[in-house]
Amino acid sequence: MSEVFNFCAGPAMLPTTVMAKAQQEFINWQNTGSSVMELSHRSDIFMAMAAKAEADLRELMAIPDNYKVLFCHGGGRGQFSAVPLNLLPQGKSADYVVSGSWSKAAAIEAKNFGDVNIININQDTDTQLSLVDSKDWPLNPDAAYVHYCPNETVNGIEINAIPDTNGVPLVADMSSTILSHQIDVSKFGLIYAGAQKNIGPSGLTIVIVREDLLGHAHTATPCIMNYKTSADNDSMYNTPPTYAWYLAGLVFTWLKELGGVKEIEKVNQEKAALLYQAIDNSSFYLNAIDPQYRSKMNIPFWLKDESLNQQFLDESEAAGLTALQGHRIVGGMRASIYNAMPLEGVKALIAFMEKFEKKVN
Ligand code: PMP
């Protein structure tokens, strides 16, 4: 089979070398004669692998010692419930900053558990999609926390600067941006991310939480969503998603060998800059997002003649550039170019886009 570049938003492509290693170890992991997925999560060999994966993630993200790292079930949406259940006590409210469809979904879910103040920061003109600067967000100084989504996977909108919440714990849904660039974890109360973009396969969710935020959950919080219960039991209160944890560990090793987040950040910048440049230099394709808020992971673009959409999708697929269809809410195309997407994949996409434009114009 010739090489395929998969631009899916998630579950997304994983590094080829990681997949090859997983294949090689699939039925006989570390000479146990078993697959890692057939072993007890409490076996010494699994626990050692799990601890190494956590240590590697801590190193990659420079996570301070006063933060717990939890390996959970439930995906991003599971955290939409877990965050208010753990952090939003009765009598308090939480600020939910809405910049796109995932932050909106998080706010709607949180309303089921407590008092939520929605702050819409979309600021669109006829020609451009933009956001209100974080300095001008009307935040409540008494909020239990501020929730936002630094990278909106569907809309292709990214908030680069970490908002200053004046001491109110900042909670970030980093599902589609974690490990793509360096961040200062100490600026956050809690970070969560579904694994299926930059970490590994679906089924695993990472939560990074400051220790002082543990232990305040609603009494009705399901035990598997209670951060303190998870932290006290090294994420093994119930059976964790063992295979996804193992694969995440392989991805962390791969990223460390590449030189860590600092190095992948450079590649990610180059990939995004090339693709936006190709879009902006053409009068055939369009991305209407204010350049300062353009995502480096999920790049939506529209063909000015939308009647050509299906032809574009059919021909790109045939050329080995798969899953470019935009999300149904926004239409058009979307190229998700997470850490595992090599520079050659982006170059191949740009070459295809130029060829397609010439052919149909
Ligand atoms: N938040 C963001 C930013 C996402 O991109 C997604 C999924 N694409 C979710 C939350 C929901 O994740 P899940 O499907 O794992 O619940």
- pLDDT 10s digits, 124-134: 888 899 999 99
102 Cα: distance to centroid of ligand 1 (angstroms): 7
According to the model, what pLDDT value does residue 2 have? 65
The pair of structure tokens assigned to 355 is: 């060829």
77 lines ligand 1 (CB under 6 A): yes
CA nearest ligand 1 atom 9, residue: 76
Residues 6+ apart with CB under 8 A from 222: 85
Ligand 1 pocket, 153 CB below 6 A? yes
Q: What is the signed CA dihedral for 48, 51, 56, 57, rounded to 10 degrees?
A: 150
Q: Is residue 239 part of an annotated ligand binding site?
A: yes
User: Which among 29, 95, 104, 197 is annotated as catalytic?
Assistant: 197
**pLDDT at residue number 126:** 84
Q: Is the pTM of this model over 0.95?
A: yes
What one-letter code names the amino acid at 28?
Answer: N
Kindly indicate whether the ipTM for this predicted assembly is greater than 0.85, answering yes or no. Answer: yes
Is 197 labeled as catalytic in the residue annotation?
yes
What does the pLDDT read at residue 1? 53
Catalytic annotation present for 29: no
Separation in Å, CA 210 to CA 43, 221, 260, 277: 28, 19, 23, 39
Q: Within a 10 A sphere around the Cβ of 266, how many other Cβ atoms?
A: 11
Determine the Cα–Cα distance for residues 273 and 275; give it in Å rounded to an integer: 6
CA of 42 to the centre of ligand 1 (A): 29
DSSP 327: P
CA atoms within 13 A on the CB side of 317: 11
| Residue segments in the chain with a per-residue pLDDT below the cut of 50 | none
| 102 carries an active-site annotation | yes
* Å from CA of 248 to ligand 1 middle: 17
